[in-house]
Structure 1
Amino acid sequence: MEVVESSTTSTSSFARTGSRPGRRDERNRTKWDFDNHVANLMERYSREGSPIEVNFREIVPFGSGVDRATHLVHTYPAKLLLNIPLFLCNNSILSPKGGLVYDPFCGSGTVLVEAILSGRAAFGADANPLARLIAKAKTSPINRIILESALDEILKSISGRVKQAFSPVVDVEKWFLPAIATELSKLLAAIRRTCQGDVLNFMEVCFSACLRQLSLADPRLSVPVRVKGAELTERIKAFDKPVEIFERYARLNIERLQRIRNIAPPIGFGHDARTGHHELAKVPIKADLVITSPPYAGAQKYIRSSSLSVGWLGLAPENKLRKLEALNIGREHFFRAEYDGAAYGNLYGAEKEIERIQAIYPLRAHIAATYILEMEQAARSMVQALKQGGHLALVIGDNHVCGRPFATSIYIKTIFETLGLSVKLEMVDIIKSRGLMTKRNRAATSIDREHVIIFRKD
């Protein structure tokens, strides 16, 4: 019998640990219902008119890194806390059971996984091909026997004569020992020679998942930074054989994939938040609920953090990381001719702040202004994708630009209000940063408060 977890569940030891002794699978079996919680929050927001402070780790009592469904199939930078989409998907106020959920910045598929677990249909979009590959693998049920047979065939087919070259997006010799790189090239060739379709996607994701462990990159940092000195020596000593590590990842992920065996996979994936829902059907798709957590201006190096996997899997256009970066909203790299003397027009309340930044650092001003203008394009696409009466949940944090706060949440909120959506609820969660910031990246700043804004298309 399924355990029903109401929105008023106690958050004692279960909240702290994410599981109860002897009931490890409950995190996957639980039937969640947050109707009352959402209704109470909306009523309070309507009465008070100001953001409500919440703690999603208490509302949904899961600790960090919980192994629920397929969420841990592959790491991905700045992943959305799964507690948030779980809360948003599992209520009938924001979307009906069997309704359609869309995430135009789907990343590695956190929203999509929770949408399909809640009994909704889902579709997503993302400019990063590695993100789309991971999201597909995490949301495509495949029979255990098929995957185990494919894995056995891969292991038998590894040959010293057949190799898969690393695409030159970064210097492979900087990041991998020659012997490790050779073994990886033979393994990837065997995967591609023996697998196809969803099985190929899954095995490539398992291959990608083990790359950081086999690289010379500092495992503590999302964006690759090569370890040095004594750390490098110790890291090299700790290396296992690539094939053995791959097999361990594959067998663990095969088990995870069985947790979604009775669900329908997403209806498709688009390549760009600005056009994603149009890419999937001749008749534009209309979602009951849009849930998304967009990047922010110039601070999320998603493509750089994915560079080792992008290189091995050959995912960059023309084998150039810069070409792939150019497809992403929030990118940092522009030529001087693009920002010297640039004028931007309507920036939804950010005009004076952009002028201030422009006087100090024209490139940073251009990064921030371009981000707002491209987010406006994405917002128009999201509103078009949303049904009349549907809801849009925006998960976004504020960051800093040139040493001062940049009110990203206010500017993007203003865009959606300008497009005709009305705010029904705004929540604020104090978080540990899920950005790409570390002590070795001192120029960046972390996000410590995350806004969850619920709009309605009236």
Structure 2
Amino acid sequence: MEQTKQKTKMLNTKQAAIFLGVSTKTIYRMEKKGLLHPIRTPGGQRRFPKHSLETYLNKSREFAAPQNPSKFLVKEDENVYLFNSSELKQKSQTHQRINRLEQIISLGGYSNHNQHYNYNNNIKHWIEEWDFKKYQTKTYTHGFHNYPAMFIPQIARKLISVFSEEKDTVCDIFCGSGTTLVESSLLNRNSIGIELNPLAVLIARVKTTPINPKNLTDKLKFIIDEYESIKDVHPYFFTNIDFWFKKDVINDLTRLKQAISKIPEENIRNFFFVCFSNVVRIVSYTRHGEFKLFRSPNKMTDKFKPDVTSEFIKICENNIIGMKEYVNNIFPHTHSRIIMGDATKDNGIPNNSVDLIITSPPYGDSRTTVAYGQFSRLSSQWLDLLPPNIKDIDKELIGGKNNVNLSDPILDKSITLKFSINSIADKDEERAKEVLSFYIDLNKALIQAHNILKPNKYFCLIIGNRTVKELVLKTDTIICELAENIGFIQQGIFYRNIPNKRMPSRNSPTNEAGKTGSTMLKESIILLRKVY
């Protein structure tokens, strides 16, 4: 009886820290990396089963400091890693780091990240919450790779939970790097994603393909061994490569790409190519903190000496642990299908076959809003992702071509759109054509969405209202007006603040000295239902 009572004894965070001989901050880091797995009280407080702490200690006896993981969990940038980057400069320490990663993986525990979704603790708060400003958004595989205007997973999960059932099929017609698809597999839904950008397709496929993390650590060792064995290398080349990379960085990236390419399994090879893609941007001359391609003056000095292998192992470490969490939380028989295609066209999805569509389309043409193509260019060139006939992916994306007529029939389907185009045309006809081209393509995507969605099912769009020529384009209203002509009915619009935006609160839309305007501060969540 006493033994049973001891096994079920629960410790709070402070007690768990004392038991392990660490600080409470270390407890939080250990939880974040999947080393400890507390349960939550109805009030949201952590409780650690004492027997699980004892199990952790028993399994981690081979660690250099089993009772003090803070000795090897080090915070760099926004992530927590096992060792400082400086330790990777010697070959033995590189392998030591990978060995420690193997030990973390072998512990068997994992995090389910429920605390980062938090709807079980306070249902009223969950219903009212749309900003998710204080929530961790890099859970599971969501943190594998940066991508412009990434969809917040908590919003996707909330909409999927409310508007679909387990075993349903959820579709994202502008799936980007796959947030909706990841959340669908975690909620026991099948998913389909459509995306035209080859780099985003690669990222989405990797994020939704479960791989045994032990296999990944084994292959990481293989990659490093192959990398170190390559002595003579013919440097990779594409136009202006030396404008964006140092010569020694080009050589190191070439060696690393060759090492990854020797992995025979496609899904594992792609996993490491996504890690490689992250490294490409980090070790290039490009600025941090923005998506357009500009060289950083801070990197154009002799002090900028990026370590390709160090950055690669750091990213692999984070992603392998994320994969461990994903593999242990997805439902086993769900599947995700990513189609590299154009959402404005038929992509072979049967009519009336999808139970829910959730998407966050571009807010405008890629050239003048979010530079998806510019962000992807260097990685796409290194990984040979772009077809030979496509030089600028932004021109292929929605609204990329403006060979339209300002009297297009679409203007009769939305009074708001007609007013907006006429107002812009009075100031700049070419700009009006660019804006109209975007809405023509968006309307085509709405028509395709209507075709594949089942009757009486929901279509959820997250969109922002941008400003052109000092006119706020009410895209949410325009979508609702266009949708009603297709066979949807508007069920409501929610509004959310955009936290942590990578843009100033004001800019100069007219390029006139001293004349500024507000940038986009809110998003609209549009709920449509297919009625016929």
TM bucket, shorter chain: 0.7 to 0.9
**Equivalent residue letter for 1:118:** L
Cα distance change, pair 161–275 in 1 and its aligned pair in 2 (3 A): farther
Contact 1:115/1:121 (8 A) holds in 2: yes
Shift of 1:408: 1.1
Give yes or no for the alignment of 1:199 onto 2:268: yes
Q: State the Cα distance separating 1:106 from its structure 2 match.
A: 0.5
Aligned-residue RMSD, C-alpha: 3.1
Larger deviation, residues 341-350 vs 204-213: 341-350
1:404 aligns to 2:471 (yes or no): yes
Matches for 1:420-431 after TM superposition, within 5 Å: 420-431=487-498
Alignment of 1:47-62 (within 5 A): 55-57=129-131
Match of 2:247 in 1: 178
Report the 3-state secondary structure (helix = DSSP H, G, I; strand = E; otherwise coil) of the residue aligned with 2:426. Answer: helix
- TM-superposed deviation, 1:130: 0.6
1:102 alignment partner, SS class: strand
Q: Are 1:213 and 2:282 an aligned pair?
A: yes
Match of 2:26 in 1: none
| Cα pair 1:221 1:438 within 8 Å, conserved | no
Report the alpha carbon displacement of residue 312 of structure 1 after superposing the two structures with TM: 1.1
Helix, strand or coil at the partner of 1:411: helix
* 2:145 matches 1:81: no
Equivalenced residue count is: 411
Residue matched to 1:253: 319
1:316 lines up with 2:382 in the alignment: no
Q: Deviations over 1:91-137 (max 9, x none)?
A: 3xx11111111000000111111111111111101111111111111
Q: Which residue of 1 aligns with 2:363?
A: 296
Tell me: higher relative CO, structure 1 or 2? Use CA pairs within 8 A at least 6 residues apart: 1
Q: Deviations over 1:371-396 (max 9, x none)?
A: 11111110011111111121111111
Alignment deviations for residues 415-457 of structure 1 (CA, whole Å, 9 cap, x no partner) = 21221212223211122375x6459985496321111111122
- The whole-number CA distance in structure 2 between the counterparts of 1:102 and 1:152 is 37
SS state of the match for residue 343, structure 2? coil
For 1:397 and 1:265, locate their aligned partners in 2 and report how far apart those are by CA, in whole Å.
30
TM-score by length of 2: 0.70
Letter in 1 for 2:315: Y
Consecutive unaligned residues in structure 2, runs of 5 or more: 1-36, 46-108, 511-517
Would the aligned equivalents of 1:191 and 1:204 in 2 still touch at CA under 8 Å?
yes
Instruction: Summarize the Cα distance change of 1:226–1:107 in structure 2 as closer, same or farther, 3 Å threshold.
Output: same
Q: Which amino acid aligns with 1:394?
A: L
Identity among equivalent pairs (%): 26
TM-score for the superposition, normalised by structure 1? 0.81
Task: Give the equivalent residue in structure 2 for 1:243.
Answer: 309
**Residues 68 and 409 (structure 1 numbering): CA distance in 2 closer, same or farther, change over 3 Å?**
same
Closer, same or farther: CA 77–30 of 1 in aligned 2, 3 Å: closer
Q: Which residue of structure 2 lines up, in the alignment, with residue 346 of structure 1?
A: 410
Partner residue of 1:274 out of 329, 339, 344? 344
In the alignment, the residues of structure 2 paired with residue 320 and residue 249 of structure 1 have an alpha-carbon distance, to the nearest angstrom, of: 29
In structure 2, relative to structure 1, the CA distance for the partners of 1:373 and 1:195 (3 Å cut) is same
Q: What CA distance in whole angstroms lies between the structure 1 residues aligned with 2:212 and 2:406?
A: 55
Letter of the 1:311 partner, please give it.
Q
- Bigger Cα displacement from structure 2, 240-249 vs 107-116: 240-249
Q: How does 1:105-116 map onto structure 2 within 5 Å?
A: 105-116=174-185
Aligned to 2:113: 27
Gapped regions of structure 1 (runs ≥ 5): 12-22, 42-53
CA offset digits 1:117-175 (Å, max 9, x no partner): 1111111011111111111111100011221222222222222335573443xx22121
**Partner residue of 1:144 out of 213, 218, 224:** 213
Deviation at 1:326, TM superposition (A): 2.5
Structure showing greater radius of gyration is 2
What's 1:457 paired with? 530
The amino acid across from 2:278 in the alignment is: A
CA contact (8 A) 1:104 1:126 kept: yes
Q: Return the offset for 1:319.
A: 6.8
> In 2, are the aligned partners of 1:105 and 1:273 still within 8 Å (CA)?
yes
Secondary structure (helix, strand or coil) at the match of 1:365 reads helix
Once the two structures are overlaid, the 10-residue window that deviates more, 439-448 or 370-379, is 439-448
